[in-house]
């Protein structure tokens, strides 16, 4: 995606705050004009065109106005920037919600965090220090070219060429020299964040297998690469500043000598010569600001591209809304084929699950058992074939209705850094305490919770690290019981439980007479209570 296209797309996000942007540009323009005319009017004072005390009064007023205009301009720009960052974050989280879980399963968590935090934060440079300066420089340049040019056309053309060189050619040159360095830097930054996050999560395994030195060396290697990329960007930025200063100095020297030439040949008077030189000398501020954006803006554009990639990524599964409500009934899976990219997982699979029955599914790892449950939840879109509930295709059932009628327990339960009660109430936000306790008793976790110092108000460590695998699995089961959907989907529900807890959980499941259960398990003991057991082999029923 070209930088110009990225900037245009980022500009479109300014629409809700266009009035604030116009105010910032107008006041910024007035501020720069006030700053330049302080020098220009001083020249008129030297020529005796303005008397001393009038000049002092005017300069004092201009200085005060310059400060006021500058303050309001910066305040407006930063209001726009931080307001837009909030809107962009809202849009990004909304996009992630739509992309989940299908498009996020293979996303790198650390890289995603890097985009949501530092990449979006970098857009502040674009909205606070790029849009307004560009528009201000354009309007300011037109005014100053006309002002200088009214003394002599050649002087106006020289001013125009100077402004174009500093404000356009230098930034474009820096853009060319930067190439994709900024994007590569942002990508390395994301990789480093991912590596650190992964290392922290796997710290126990790293210590256990004495692989700390290997991880540390890999971290150093990534850090060195990131540092090299950053140094490359800094060198370009330093060259940018040096080049800009040289061009400004040359432009001023050329104006000085060219104006002197015109004055010496009687083509302009001394007033025109002095004021033109002073006007050019004092007018490079807005264009230097643009020149300084040349290399630094690349980092922002790279961040903008990564952010826009999320906002524009095609949604795999669209939420269904506005359909008539659907009651739960017989589940029919008709000749479905499903692939992850080019890898075929399920092939010509058909089955029927009657209401209030228990279906057990066995099969080798990778045969498509868990994928089938995800398709029933409509986490992924069925491309070939169909899945129906009560004679309604799930693509024709409101997503919220489908999720309400299904409870899904995965192999790895995710627990949030919150109280046990709040972790359970995810399944039913308005659940009463007696409902939570009843669900936990069914999952054989109530007594354990009550043995904790704060009971249900006990805080869970990040990623549930303060609990054992079996305890987390029982909390996940309690969530499913609390949700109380008509269809209970269990993916290895007792894999982390000992035989005693497994027996208690299975006994609770057997007592559920008014619900439909689909269980995946490698344990024969888990599937004993099933009404029917099927085996999936290489994506087919066997």
Reduced 3-state DSSP string for 336-367: EEEEECCEEEEEEEEEEECCCCEEEEECCCCC
How far apart CA 246 and CA 236 sit, in angstroms, is 15
Residue 67 is assigned to a structural domain of this protein: yes
Mean pLDDT of 58-83: 88
Residue 324 is assigned to a structural domain of this protein: no
How far apart CA 129 and CA 297 sit, in angstroms, is 10
418 shares a domain with 491: yes
Q: Which of 250, 38, 43, 276 is nearest to 157 (CA)?
A: 276
384 shares a domain with 262: no
CB 88 within 8 A of CB 122: no
Higher pLDDT among residues 274 and 510, named by residue: 274
- Confidence (pLDDT) at 179: 66
72 pairs with which residues across the strands? Answer: none
Question: Cα separations (Å) of 133 from 90, 166, 293, 460, 494?
Answer: 26, 13, 10, 49, 62
- Confidence (pLDDT) at 336: 92
CB 444 within 8 A of CB 501: yes
Structure tokens that stand for 11 in this block: 């500009």
Does residue 357 have a pLDDT over 80? yes
- Confidence (pLDDT) at 379: 87
Residue 352 is assigned to a structural domain of this protein: yes
Residue 485 is assigned to a structural domain of this protein: yes
Does residue 520 have a pLDDT over 80? yes
How far apart CA 180 and CA 176 sit, in angstroms, is 9
CB 322 within 8 A of CB 378: no
35 shares a domain with 178: yes
Residue 317 is assigned to a structural domain of this protein: no
Q: What is the percent of the chain with per-residue pLDDT over 90, rounded to a whole number?
A: 25
CATH of the domain at 10: 1.20.1560.10
Residue 468 is assigned to a structural domain of this protein: yes
How far apart CA 180 and CA 167 sit, in angstroms, is 21
Q: With 0.85 as the threshold, say if the pTM is over it.
A: no
Mean pLDDT of 97-104: 73
Mean pLDDT of 385-399: 91
Name the band, by pLDDT with cuts 50, 70 and 90, for residue 1: low
Does residue 432 have a pLDDT over 90? yes
Question: Cα separations (Å) of 127 from 88, 298, 372?
Answer: 12, 14, 46
Burial tier of 303 (Cβ tally within 10 Å: 0-12, 13-18, 19+): buried
Does residue 463 have a pLDDT over 80? no
Return the ∠ at Cα 117 (arms to 115 and 121), rounded to 5°.
Answer: 100
Structure tokens that stand for 513 in this block: 């007479």
Task: Reply yes or no: is the peptide bond before residue 325 cis, omega within 30 of 0.
Answer: no
- Confidence (pLDDT) at 330: 92
202 shares a domain with 97: yes
18 shares a domain with 66: yes
Name the band, by pLDDT with cuts 50, 70 and 90, for residue 392: very high
pLDDT, tens only, 306-354: 788 888 888 878 888 888 888 889 999 999 988 877 778 888 889 999 9
- Confidence (pLDDT) at 187: 75
Residue 302 has, within 13 A of its CA and on its CB side, a CA count of 22
List Cβ neighbours of 16 (8 Å cut-off, separation of 6 or more): 87
- Lowest average pLDDT, out of 458-472, 500-514, 515-529, goes to 500-514
The DSSP output letter for 315 is P
Number of neighbours of residue 540 by Cβ within 10 angstroms? 15
Does residue 461 have a pLDDT over 80? yes
Does residue 46 have a pLDDT over 90? no
Q: What is the percent of the chain with per-residue pLDDT over 70, rounded to a whole number?
A: 95
138 shares a domain with 190: yes
412 shares a domain with 377: yes
Does residue 424 have a pLDDT over 90? yes
The C-alpha R_g of the chain, in whole angstroms, comes to: 34
Name the band, by pLDDT with cuts 50, 70 and 90, for residue 297: low
- Lowest average pLDDT, out of 23-32, 302-311, 401-410, 485-494, goes to 302-311
Mean pLDDT of 419-436: 92
Maximum average pLDDT range among 11-15, 159-163, 198-202, 321-325: 159-163
Number of neighbours of residue 99 by Cβ within 10 angstroms? 18
How far apart CA 542 and CA 368 sit, in angstroms, is 13
- Confidence (pLDDT) at 304: 78
Number of neighbours of residue 495 by Cβ within 10 angstroms? 17
Mean pLDDT of 400-409: 89
Structure tokens that stand for 23 in this block: 């105010």
How far apart CA 513 and CA 19 sit, in angstroms, is 62
Q: Which residue has the tokens 């290489």?
A: 538
308 shares a domain with 346: no
374 shares a domain with 237: no
- Lowest average pLDDT, out of 63-72, 238-247, 261-270, 384-393, goes to 238-247
CATH of the domain at 487: 3.40.50.300
Mean pLDDT estimate for the chain: 84
Q: Would you give the end-to-end CA distance of the chain in angstroms?
A: 48
Structural domains in the chain (count): 2
Helix-helix angle 270-281:131-149, to 10 degrees: 170
- Confidence (pLDDT) at 105: 67
Residue 326 is assigned to a structural domain of this protein: no
- Confidence (pLDDT) at 309: 81
- Confidence (pLDDT) at 467: 84
Q: Which of 352, 372, 353 is nearest to 362 (CA)?
A: 372
Residue 430 lies in domain: 331-541
Does residue 389 have a pLDDT over 90? yes
Residue 325 is assigned to a structural domain of this protein: no
Does residue 542 have a pLDDT over 70? no
Q: Which residue has the tokens 């499903």?
A: 338
377 shares a domain with 335: yes
Mean pLDDT of 278-295: 82
361 shares a domain with 305: no
CB 347 within 8 A of CB 396: no
Residue at a domain's end among 285, 312, 339: 312
- The strands making up 406-409's β-sheet, listed across from edge to edge, are 406-409, 487-491, 516-520, 358-362, 532-537, 540-541
Does residue 257 have a pLDDT over 90? yes
Residue at a domain's end among 312, 340, 369: 312
pLDDT, tens only, 130-184: 788 888 999 999 999 999 999 999 999 999 999 999 888 888 787 777 766 766 7
How far apart CA 159 and CA 323 sit, in angstroms, is 65
- Confidence (pLDDT) at 3: 66
496 shares a domain with 469: yes
- Confidence (pLDDT) at 270: 92
CB 474 within 8 A of CB 504: no
Residue at a domain's end among 278, 312, 346: 312
Does residue 497 have a pLDDT over 60? yes
CB 129 within 8 A of CB 77: yes
- Confidence (pLDDT) at 302: 74
Question: Cα separations (Å) of 96 from 114, 132, 198?
Answer: 14, 30, 21
Reduced 3-state DSSP string for 188-235: HHHHHHHHHHHHHHCHHHHHHCCCHHHHHHHHHHHHHHHHHHHHHHHH
Helix-helix angle 153-164:212-264, to 10 degrees: 180
Does residue 541 have a pLDDT over 90? no
């Amino acid at each position: 995606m070209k930088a110009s296209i990225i900037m245009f797309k980022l500009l479109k996000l300014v629409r809700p705050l266009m009035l604030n942007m116009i105010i910032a540009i107008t006041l910024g323009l007035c501020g720069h004009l006030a700053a330049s005319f302080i020098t220009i009017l001083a020249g008129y004072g030297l020529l005796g065109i303005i008397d001393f005390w009038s000049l002092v009064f005017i300069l004092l007023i201009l200085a005060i106005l310059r400060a006021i205009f500058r303050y309001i301009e910066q305040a407006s720009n930063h209001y726009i920037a931080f307001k837009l960052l909030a809107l962009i974050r809202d849009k990004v989280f909304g996009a992630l919600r739509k992309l989940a879980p299908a498009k996020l399963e293979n996303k790198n968590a650390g890289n995603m965090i890097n985009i949501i935090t530092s990449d979006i934060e970098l857009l502040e440079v674009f909205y606070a220090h790029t849009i307004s300066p560009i528009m201000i420089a354009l309007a300011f340049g037109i005014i100053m070219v006309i002002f200088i040019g009214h003394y002599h056309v050649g002087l106006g053309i020289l001013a125009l060429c100077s402004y174009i060189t500093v404000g356009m050619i230098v930034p474009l040159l820096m853009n060319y020299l930067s190439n994709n360095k900024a994007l590569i830097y942002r990508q390395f930054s994301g990789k480093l964040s991912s590596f650190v996050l992964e290392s922290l999560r796997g710290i126990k395994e790293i210590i256990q297998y004495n692989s700390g030195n290997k991880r540390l060396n890999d971290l150093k290697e990534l850090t060195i690469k990131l540092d090299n990329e950053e140094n490359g960007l800094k060198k370009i930025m330093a060259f940018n500043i040096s080049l800009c200063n040289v061009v400004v100095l040359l432009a001023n020297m050329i104006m000085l000598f060219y104006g002197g030439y015109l004055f010496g040949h009687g083509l302009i008077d001394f007033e025109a010569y002095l004021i033109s030189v002073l006007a050019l000398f004092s007018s490079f501020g807005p264009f230097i600001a643009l020149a300084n954006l040349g290399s630094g803006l690349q980092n922002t554009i790279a961040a903008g591209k990564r952010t826009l990639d999320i906002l524009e990524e095609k949604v795999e599964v669209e939420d269904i809304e506005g359909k008539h409500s659907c009651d739960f009934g017989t589940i029919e899976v008709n000749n479905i084929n499903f692939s992850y990219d080019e890898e075929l997982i399920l092939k010509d699979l058909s089955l029927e699950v009657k209401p209030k029955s228990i279906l057990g599914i066995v099969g080798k790892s990778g045969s498509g058992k868990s994928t089938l449950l995800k398709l029933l939840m409509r986490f992924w879109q069925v491309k070939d074939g169909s899945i129906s509930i009560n004679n309604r295709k799930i693509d024709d059932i409101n997503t919220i209705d489908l999720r309400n009628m299904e409870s899904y327990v995965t192999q790895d339960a995710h627990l949030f850094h919150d109280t046990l009660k709040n972790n359970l109430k995810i399944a039913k936000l308005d659940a009463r305490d007696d409902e939570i306790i009843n669900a936990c008793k069914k999952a054989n976790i109530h007594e354990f919770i009550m043995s904790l110092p704060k009971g249900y108000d006990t805080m869970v460590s990040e990623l549930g690290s303060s609990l054992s695998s079996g305890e987390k699995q029982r909390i996940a089961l309690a969530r499913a019981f609390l949700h109380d959907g008509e269809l209970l989907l269990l993916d290895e529900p007792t894999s982390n439980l000992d035989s005693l807890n497994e027996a208690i959980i299975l006994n609770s499941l057997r007592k559920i007479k008014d619900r439909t259960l689909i269980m995946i398990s490698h344990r024969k003991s888990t599937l004993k209570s099933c009404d029917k057991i099927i085996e999936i082999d290489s994506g087919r029923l066997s």
